[in-house]
């Protein structure tokens, strides 16, 4: 996310090649390939149990794959010649499904944890100040900083989890079903927040979701997991054009259609507003 004058490698953010994950005899992934470009929001969709979360856990190193190669931000994390020191951890942030906040720490202290871990020399007062600022960056009210996770609503927990994920100014953000369990207004706000942060901070976002509105509104590309691999990656029109039955059902089912219509309506409203401005 940093503005750089140096020549940092500008290759893809994440490259997964030939990933194999097995639980006993059951293969979740078999030869899965996926590339996430820098600065994009990639949505990952798939039916329940197709291994979306397992894919994310493999990339961030919580699940040791049975075979395959994973490169994140130019660093080989898995496969032949893998690096063992995970300096790259500092360059990514993860938002787990339920927020995964540390229940015995306040929201502010939760955000301080990664900062303290990587920069133990920082003045504690300044660290607390950074944490407060990050919490407010995610749109939480100021008094949320001192609250404990048990005192927060589901949506606030997600925002607090996002604040912790953003604590170290990561280049890469992993979101696991960020809008699941949120009301439609809260979900739309969270989508907008994700997009805004992605634009201001120049993030690359890897986003697992079931939320069709999220896919239409903020994802640059969508990857579909089915049959133990990624069957297609692209924009939603490109995916629908592949004619795969599951994709067809997913985007052209009743929910897919209404999300699509809502998206079109939103665009029409924007276009009308722009037209009015030009006219005036």
Partner 1 sequence: MMERDALWRESLARGGNCPHTFNPMQNSAHHSLEPLGEESDADGSRLVLSGQLTLAHIGPLETDLRRIDGPVRVVDLAGVEEIDTVGAYVVCRMARLHESDITGASPEAERLLAAVREIDTAGDTHPHRLPVWERVPTALGERVFGARGGIYGVVGFFGQVLVGAASLARHPSRFPFKALVHQMELVGVSALPIIGLMSFLIGIVIAQQGSVQLQQFGAEALTVNLVGRITLRELGVLMTAIMVAGRSGSAFAAQLGTMKLTEEIDAMRTIGISPIEVLVIPRIVAATFMMILLGFYASVLAIIGGAVVGQFALGINFVAFLLRIQEVVPTHDLWVGLIKAPVFGLIVAMSGCYNGLQVRSNSEEVGRRTTMSVVSAIFAVIVIDAFFAVFFTEIGWG
**Out of 143, 237, 243, 280, the residue judged to bind partner 1 by CB under 8 A:** 143
Six token digits for residue 26: 């059951």
> Contact, 108 vs 132, CB < 8 A?
yes
Query: What per-residue string of b and e applies to 137-164 under the rule 16 or more CB within 10 Å gives b?
Result: bbbbeeebbebebeebeebbbbbbbbbb
Q: Binders of partner 1 among 32-51, rule CB under 8 A?
A: none
Q: Which stretch binds partner 1 (CB under 8 A): 81-89, 157-165, 184-192, 213-221?
A: 81-89
11 vs 253 by CB, closer to partner 1? 11
Q: Binders of partner 1 among 246-275, rule CB under 8 A?
A: none
* Beta strand spans in the chain (E): 14-23, 26-36, 41-46, 67-72, 75-78, 92-95, 172-176, 204-208, 221-226, 229-234
Six token digits for residue 234: 């692209």
Q: How many CA atoms lie within 13 A of 237 on its CB side?
A: 1
Binding of partner 1 by 146 (CB under 8 A): yes
Binding of partner 1 by 277 (CB under 8 A): no
Binding of partner 1 by 86 (CB under 8 A): no
Binding of partner 1 by 121 (CB under 8 A): yes
Cα–Cα distance for residue pair 78/71, rounded to 1 Å: 7
The structure tokens 């949120």 sit at 182
Closest contact distance (angstroms) between CB of 278 and partner 1 is 25
Query: How many other β-carbons are positioned within 10 Å of the β-carbon of residue 200?
Result: 10
List beta partners, residue 174: 94, 206
Binding of partner 1 by 80 (CB under 8 A): no
Cα–Cα distance for residue pair 110/106, rounded to 1 Å: 6
109 vs 211 by CB, closer to partner 1? 109
Q: Binders of partner 1 among 187-216, rule CB under 8 A?
A: 196, 200-202
Cα–Cα distance for residue pair 189/212, rounded to 1 Å: 15
Per-residue x/- marks for partner 1, 48-67, CB under 8 A? --------------------
**Out of 10, 23, 62, 74, the residue judged to bind partner 1 by CB under 8 A:** 74
Binding of partner 1 by 91 (CB under 8 A): yes
Closest contact distance (angstroms) between CB of 27 and partner 1 is 31
Q: Which residues bind partner 1 (CB under 8 A)?
A: 1-6, 8-9, 74-75, 85, 87-88, 90-91, 103-104, 108, 115, 118-123, 126, 128-130, 132-134, 136-137, 142-143, 145-146, 148-151, 166, 168-169, 196, 200-202
């Amino acid at each position: 996310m940093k503005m750089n004058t140096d020549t940092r490698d500008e290759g893809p953010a994440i490259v997964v090649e030939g990933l194999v994950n097995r639980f006993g005899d059951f293969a979740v992934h078999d030869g899965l390939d996926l590339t996430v470009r820098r600065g994009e929001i990639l949505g990952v969709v798939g039916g329940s149990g197709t291994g979306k979360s397992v894919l994310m856990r493999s990339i961030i190193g919580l699940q040791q794959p049975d075979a395959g190669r994973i490169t994140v931000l130019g660093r080989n994390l898995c496969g032949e010649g893998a690096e063992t020191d995970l300096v790259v951890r500092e360059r990514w942030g993860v938002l787990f499904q339920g927020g995964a906040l540390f229940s015995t720490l306040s929201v502010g202290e939760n955000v301080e944890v990664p900062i303290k871990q990587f920069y133990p020399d920082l003045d504690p007062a300044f660290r607390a100040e950074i944490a407060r600022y990050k919490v407010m960056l995610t749109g939480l009210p100021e008094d949320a900083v001192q609250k404990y996770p048990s005192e927060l609503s589901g949506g606030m927990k997600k925002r607090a989890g996002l604040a912790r994920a953003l604590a170290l100014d990561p280049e890469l953000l992993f979101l696991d079903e960020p809008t699941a369990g949120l009301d439609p207004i809260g979900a739309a706000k969270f989508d907008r927040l994700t997009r805004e942060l992605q634009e201001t901070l120049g993030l690359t976002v890897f986003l697992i979701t079931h939320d069709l509105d999220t896919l239409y509104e903020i994802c640059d590309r969508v990857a579909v997991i089915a049959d133990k691999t990624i069957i297609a990656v692209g924009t939603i029109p490109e995916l629908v054009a592949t004619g795969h039955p599951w994709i067809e059902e997913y985007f052209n089912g009743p929910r897919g259609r209404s999300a699509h219509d809502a998206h079109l309506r939103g665009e029409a409203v924007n276009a009308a507003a722009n037209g009015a401005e030009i006219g005036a």
